[in-house]
Amino acid sequence: MVDNIIRLDRNESPYPPPRIVLDEIRKTVSKANRYPSRELYDRLLYYLSNYTEVSTSHIVVNGGSDHMLELVTWMFAGDKGVTLVYPCFNVFVELLKLHGIKYRLVSMDYFSDKPIDLGELITYSKNSDLVYIDNPNNPSGRIMVKPKEIEELVIETREKPIIVIDEAYYEFSKVTAASLIESYDNLIVLRTFSKAWALAGLRIGYALAGKRALKAFYGMQYRVSLPALAGAIKALENSSYMYRIVKRIIDERERLRRKIRVLGLKTPQSSANYLLIFTGIKNIPSKLKHHGIYVKDYSHLGEGAIRVTIGNRRENRIFLNTLKEILLHS
Ligand SMILES: Cc1ncc(COP(=O)(O)O)c(C=O)c1O
């Protein structure tokens, strides 16, 4: 039994939120008998509007962004079904399977300059109710579509399908479709406080949504807890901490990726806080788990494929050394 487990399987931040945010969250606990106030919600919208440069009338805050994805699916996925880039955020695929919602896949090439065929995506999307693209993609970390290509997709599909761009890792990629929101009614950008903002435990995310797309969230906006609202506001007020840890994680990611490639393993370039690594080793997740290291199994994409969250320097060193050891003995 290993004492210190290293969790590199959920794309969380390896760093806790800053003290000022934690203090704010603690303060709200004594007011837990009260519902969160409208003013607090509006304050968060105000900060988010400054941060995203999107007007408050196009922003909705809710529990985690996976819940928002569910709301969008219930509202818009009909007989024509959903177009997805594959592989993508597996929680969404499981949701579609569970509820028997039809979907079509546009597959990607992890190592190509253009990971997906935009023409194919447009053709499928024309005949869909909903299009889902995680950008950066989970599990590869690749940017799938540039803002210009998103605009082309919206125009070519004549704004018919709802197009969801999941930007859960935006703070790492800096690529966003936010500037298109006020121009196109059918576009949704999903964001979260779970990754770069280090607040996964609070369960809070937000959507930037065009007029028609906003329908998915009617009546749902106030379902966020008081600590989550207060924590998110404090985090936005003190954003320099987030920028600092994002830089640290990106530096670590690039360092780790170089070392993985020196080992002769393939790993696509990532714009997020994780790497997809093709180790070629059977049962690699359980071998790593034996050493107390949790990673996400993606062996259905290739033998020994795993997604590894970038941890702190110590965690990354232990992961790398353990991987080397396993490679040596396999
Ligand atoms: C692409 C993507 N979208 C959404 C989520 C979920 O985010 P949240 O914690 O806001 O539900 C994740 C979490 O791993 C993710 O990878």
Q: Are residues 151 and 275 located together in one domain of the fold?
A: no
Whole-number pLDDT of residue 3: 65
Q: Are residues 221 and 260 located together in one domain of the fold?
A: no
* Whether this model's pTM surpasses 0.95: yes
Residue 145 domain flag: yes
**Ligand 1 centroid distance, CA of 254 (Å):** 22
Q: Are residues 111 and 250 located together in one domain of the fold?
A: no
Q: Are residues 55 and 81 located together in one domain of the fold?
A: yes
The response to whether residue 9 sits with its C-beta less than 6 Å from ligand 1 reads no
Tokens of 214: 């906003």
Q: Binning pLDDT at 50, 70 and 90, where does residue 1 land?
A: low
Tokens 């203090």, residue?
23
Q: Are residues 172 and 29 located together in one domain of the fold?
A: yes
Instruction: Give the residue from 237, 256, 279 where a domain finishes.
Output: 237
CATH number of the structural domain spanning residue 319: 3.90.1150.10
Whole-number pLDDT of residue 293: 98
Q: Are residues 200 and 261 located together in one domain of the fold?
A: no
**Ligand 1 centroid distance, CA of 65 (Å):** 6
Q: Binning pLDDT at 50, 70 and 90, where does residue 2 land?
A: low
What is the mean predicted confidence (pLDDT) over 301-317? Answer: 97
Write the residue with the smallest CA distance to atom 12 of ligand 1. Answer: 168
C-alpha angle 307/136/41, rounded to 5°? 110
CA distances from 271 to 50, 174, 262, 281, 298 (A): 24, 9, 20, 25, 18
CATH number of the structural domain spanning residue 129: 3.40.640.10
The response to whether residue 166 sits with its C-beta less than 6 Å from ligand 1 reads yes
* pLDDT tens readout for residues 131-186: 999 999 999 999 999 999 999 999 999 989 999 999 999 999 999 999 999 999 99
Q: Which atom of ligand 1 is nearest to the CA of 134?
A: 1
Orientation of helix 19-29 relative to helix 226-237, angle to 10°:
150
Q: What range defines the domain where residue 60 resides?
A: 19-237
* pLDDT tens readout for residues 216-272: 998 876 789 999 999 999 999 999 999 999 999 999 999 999 999 999 999 999 999
The response to whether residue 205 sits with its C-beta less than 6 Å from ligand 1 reads yes
Residue 315 domain flag: yes
**Ligand 1 centroid distance, CA of 152 (Å):** 25
Whole-number pLDDT of residue 66: 87
Q: Are residues 158 and 280 located together in one domain of the fold?
A: no
The response to whether residue 138 sits with its C-beta less than 6 Å from ligand 1 reads yes
The response to whether residue 64 sits with its C-beta less than 6 Å from ligand 1 reads yes
* pLDDT tens readout for residues 101-123: 999 999 999 999 999 999 999 99
* pLDDT tens readout for residues 6-64: 999 999 999 999 999 999 999 999 999 999 999 999 999 999 999 999 999 999 999 98
CA 232, 274, 74, 118 torsion: positive or negative?
positive
Tokens of 233: 């506001």
**Ligand 1 centroid distance, CA of 210 (Å):** 21
Q: Are residues 209 and 286 located together in one domain of the fold?
A: no
Q: Are residues 202 and 247 located together in one domain of the fold?
A: no
**Ligand 1 centroid distance, CA of 168 (Å):** 6
Whole-number pLDDT of residue 202: 96
**Ligand 1 centroid distance, CA of 325 (Å):** 32
45-49, long-range: CB < 8 A, 24+ apart: 47/233, 47/236, 47/237, 48/206, 48/236
Q: Binning pLDDT at 50, 70 and 90, where does residue 330 land?
A: confident
Q: Are residues 116 and 257 located together in one domain of the fold?
A: no
Helix (H) or strand (E) holding 208: strand 205-209
For residue 275, the cross-strand partners are 308
Residue 103 domain flag: yes
Question: Which candidate, 193, 176, 172, 321, places its Cα nearest to that of 254?
Answer: 172
At 132 the three-state DSSP class reads strand
Instruction: Give the residue from 178, 207, 237 where a domain finishes.
Output: 237
Q: Are residues 10 and 29 located together in one domain of the fold?
A: no
Cα Rg for the chain, rounded, in angstroms? 20
Write the residue with the smallest CA distance to atom 7 of ligand 1. Answer: 65
Q: Are residues 180 and 316 located together in one domain of the fold?
A: no
**Ligand 1 centroid distance, CA of 205 (Å):** 9
Instruction: Give the residue from 209, 237, 265 where a domain finishes.
Output: 237
How many domains are there within the chain?
2
What span, in angstroms and rounded, lies between the C-alpha atoms of 180 and 325? 48
Residue 1 domain flag: no
